[in-house]
Amino acid sequence: MADTIKIKIDGKEIITAKGKTILEAATDNGVYIPTLCHFPGVPPKGSCRICTVKVNNRFMTSCSTPVADGMTIDNNHDEIKDYRKSIVELLFISGNHFCPACEKSGNCELQALAYRLGMLVPRFPYSFPNKEVDASSPKIIKEQNRCILCKRCIKTIKDKEGKRYFAFNRRGNHLEVVLDKQMGQAISDKLAQQAMENCPVGSIIYKGKGFSEPIGSRKFDKKPIGSSIEE
Amino acid sequence: MEKKVIATTSLAGCFGCHMSFLDIDERLLDLIELVEFNKSPIDDIKRFTKPVDIGIIEGGCANSENVEVLRYFRENCKILVSLGECAIMGGLPAMRNGISIDECLAEAYLNGPTVQLNKEKILPNDEEIPMLLDRVVPCHEVVKIDYFLPGCAPRADLIWDALVAIVTGKEMDLPYEVIKFD
Ligand code: SF4
Ligand code: SF4
Ligand code: FES
pLDDT score at B96: 95
pLDDT score at B141: 97
> Any bridge partners for residue B77, and if so which?
B52
Q: What phi and psi, each to the nearest 5 degrees, are found at residue A90?
A: -65, -40
pLDDT score at A2: 61
Is B88 within 8 Å of B138 (Cβ atoms)? yes
Query: What are chain A's domains?
Result: 4-76 (3.10.20.740), 85-209 (3.30.70.20)
Give chain A positions within 8 Å (CB) of B137. Answer: 126
Split at pLDDT 50, 70, 90, the class of A205 is very high
Which of B134, B139, B177, B180 has the highest number of chain A CBs within 10 A, making it the mutation to test binding with A? B180
A160, burial (CB in 10 Å: exposed 0-12, middle 13-18, buried 19+): exposed
Interface contact flag, B82 A121, Cβ < 8 Å: yes
B165 prior amide bond cis, ω within 30: no
Nearest-angstrom CA–CA distance, B16 and B10: 9
Percent of chain A with pLDDT over 70: 99
pLDDT score at B171: 86
Split at pLDDT 50, 70, 90, the class of A3 is confident
Question: Which residue has a Cα nearest atom 1 of ligand 3?
Answer: A35
Picking from A96, A111, A126, the nearest residue to B181 by CB comes out as A111
**Span A31-57, average pLDDT:** 95
What is chain A's mean pLDDT, rounded? Answer: 95
**Span A118-136, average pLDDT:** 96
ipTM attached to this prediction: 0.93
What's the pTM?
A: 0.96
Q: Please name which of A43, A105, A29, A117 lies closest in space to residue A81, comparing C-alpha atoms.
A: A117
Q: Which long-range contacts (CB under 8 A, 24 or more apart) does A77-85 make?
A: A79/A54, A80/A52, A80/A53, A80/A54, A81/A117, A83/A49, A83/A52, A83/A59, A84/A34, A84/A50, A84/A52, A84/A113, A84/A117, A85/A117, A85/A118, A85/A119
What is the third-level CATH fold of B4-96+134-178? Rossmann fold (3.40.50)
Interface contact flag, A221 B180, Cβ < 8 Å: yes
Give buried/exposed letters for A186-199 (b at 16+ CB in 10 A, else e): ebeeebbbbbbebb
Nearest-angstrom CA–CA distance, A68 and A66: 7
Question: Does the pLDDT at position A1 exceed 70?
Answer: no
pLDDT score at A79: 94
Which parts of chain B sit beneath pLDDT 50? Answer: none
Q: How far is the CA of A142 from the centre of ligand 3 (A)?
A: 22
Q: What angle do CA A196, A199, A202 make, to 5 degrees?
A: 75
Give chain A positions within 8 Å (CB) of B88. Answer: 120-121
A101 CB-near residues (< 8 Å, 6+ apart): B92, B95
pLDDT score at B161: 94
The 8-class DSSP code of residue B136 comes to E
pLDDT score at B165: 94
Q: How far is the CA of B68 from the centre of ligand 1 (A)?
A: 31
Is B164 within 8 Å of B34 (Cβ atoms)? yes
Nearest-angstrom CA–CA distance, B38 and B44: 9
**Secondary structure E strands in chain B:** 4-10, 35-37, 52-58, 61-63, 77-83, 132-137, 147-149
Q: What phi and psi, each to the nearest 5 degrees, are found at residue B70?
A: -60, -45
Give chain A positions within 8 Å (CB) of B97. Answer: 96, 128, 130
Give buried/exposed letters for A87-102 (b at 16+ CB in 10 A, else e): bbbebbbbbbbbbbbb
